[in-house]
Amino acid sequence: MKAASEASMPDSTFLDSTELVLNMGPQHPSTHGVLRVILKLDGEKILGTDCVIGYLHRGVEKIAENRTYAQFNPYVDRMDYVAAVSNGLGYCLAVEKLLNIEAPPRAQVVRVILTELNRIASHLVWLGTHALDIGAITPVFYCFREREEALNIFEKYCGARLTTHAFRIGGLQYETYDGFERDVKAFCDMFPPKVDEYEALLTGNRIWLGRLTNVGVLTADECKEYGVTGPLLRAAGVKWDLRKAQPYSGYDKYDFEIPTRQNGDTFDRYIVRMQEMRQSVRIIRQAVESIPEGPIMGKVPKVIKPAVGEAYVSIEAPKGELGYYVVSDGSTQPYRVRVRPPSFVNLQALDRMVRGALVADICAVIGTLDIVLGEVDR
């Protein structure tokens, strides 16, 4: 802590406030990783913020240029490591677009099941840690208990729990295991009552409401201005979800809704994400009933060498629009892979969301942004 030195204070009394610059992070439990925020304060009021990021920068985009298309596939899991399956799906779709191929129907349905399970797992990490930041200790244990069930399915399917590398360019490497459908159905039966349980703990809770209502408001126009997508945009009343707007992997075949709210505050974002988990279960139920027979791998050339060209493909990741802009120069290695990370873009709106708020609110707002620093820094 250090006082801003430029403020000369001959006339000021002890009660006059002066600007204070407070450093938060990078080692701070409620920054969800290594995010450093420099806060400018007037008493408890936030006058402005400056985010210092890059502590987890590993040069993923540079690595991509030095690996073949298939070799780079596992690296994308290390960006948003709580939603690795979504990262993999986006990358595979982008390269498939460049190759002008499509995964076979069976692979697409399995992809949807795993991606939606991953969305639930990601939202559970968000809910647990968000509640913990605000002072509710119980939900994190409940959330991690149910997340474990989803991760068990990943582990049985591909051997890994977090960095799954579940998909391959052109489809899937592994056939589903015996009992996959039974496990997924059991999860779908088990999970919705658990969401009711979380809601019983939080939704009507006075402290929860007090800490969340009208905190970190972001209107629809501000969201668009800042490029903010995902649950934040939907909580501001914009009914926009890439799964509906530009369907991929056969999402147009499933019947589900896009939950929206109107106020765009932290509480609305909480409600939107809770409803999204229920919608994900709804999608998984339909998908698991309709897994078609057939191959799991499309006609992919042995050596992946897309024609000279470029493609931008984006998916609705749990955090928002996750895009891959891949440029091919006709060789076996991508010439350029640009990842458009939802966390990075959404984090930029932090300043707008907390200006004028109290210091304590910044933990709530960072929690509601649902950032993963691995994806912010890449």
Shortest approach of other proteins to residue 213 CB, angstroms?
A: 26
The contact mask relative to other proteins for 232-261 (x = CB under 8 A, - = no) is: ------x-x----xx---------------
Radius of gyration of the chain (CA): 22
Residue 47 found at the interface with other proteins (CB under 8 A): no
Spatial CB neighbours of 163, under 8 Å, sequence gap ≥ 6 = 74, 77, 78, 81, 84
Two tokens at 168? 């391959």
Shortest approach of other proteins to residue 333 CB, angstroms?
A: 8
Applying CB under 8 A, which part among 19-27, 121-129, 222-230, 289-297 lies near other proteins? Answer: 222-230
Residue 38 found at the interface with other proteins (CB under 8 A): no
Q: Which is nearer to other proteins, 99 or 288 (CB)?
A: 99
**Helix H or strand E encompassing 288:** helix 266-289
Residue 299 found at the interface with other proteins (CB under 8 A): yes
The answer to whether residues 322 and 341 touch, using CB atoms and an 8 Å cutoff, is yes
Angle at CA of residue 134, ends 273 and 145, nearest 5° = 60
Residue 49 phi/psi, 5-degree rounding, is -135, 155
Amino acid at 113: I
Distances (CA, A) of 268 to 90, 362, 365: 27, 17, 12
Among 28, 40, 224, 282, binds other proteins (CB under 8 A): 224
Q: Which is nearer to other proteins, 18 or 331 (CB)?
A: 331
Applying CB under 8 A, which part among 55-63, 158-166, 250-258, 281-289 lies near other proteins? Answer: 55-63
What is the rounded distance in angstroms from the CA atom of residue 377 to the CA atom of residue 10? 44
Residue 100 found at the interface with other proteins (CB under 8 A): yes
Residue 99 found at the interface with other proteins (CB under 8 A): yes
The contact mask relative to other proteins for 170-209 (x = CB under 8 A, - = no) is: ----------------------------------------
Residue 355 found at the interface with other proteins (CB under 8 A): no
Angle at CA of residue 375, ends 148 and 351, nearest 5° = 110
Q: Which is nearer to other proteins, 47 or 101 (CB)?
A: 101
Distance between start and end Cα atoms, the chain: 30
Q: Buried b vs exposed e over 53-81: b needs ≥16 C-beta within 10 Å?
A: beebeeebbeebeebebeebbbbbbbbbb
Among 41, 53, 166, 217, binds other proteins (CB under 8 A): 53
What is the rounded distance in angstroms from the CA atom of residue 333 to the CA atom of residue 28? 39
Among 102, 133, 183, 316, binds other proteins (CB under 8 A): 102
Two tokens at 166? 């579940």
Q: Which is nearer to other proteins, 299 or 355 (CB)?
A: 299
Closest CA to 163 of 87, 98, 229: 87
Q: How many residues bind other proteins (CB under 8 A)?
A: 54
**Helix H or strand E encompassing 167:** strand 167-168
Residue 61 found at the interface with other proteins (CB under 8 A): yes
- Contacting other proteins within 327-346 (CB under 8 A): 327, 330-332, 335-336, 338, 340, 344-345
Among 23, 309, 355, 356, binds other proteins (CB under 8 A): 309
Applying CB under 8 A, which part among 56-64, 74-82, 252-260, 269-277 lies near other proteins? Answer: 56-64
Among 70, 297, 305, 358, binds other proteins (CB under 8 A): 305
Tell whether omega for the bond before 26 is within 30 degrees of 0, i.e. cis: yes
Binding-site ranges for other proteins (CB under 8 A):
53-54, 57, 59, 61-63, 65-66, 68, 97-102, 224-227, 238, 240, 245-246, 299-303, 305-312, 314, 321, 323, 325, 327, 330-332, 335-336, 338, 340, 344-345, 348, 377-378
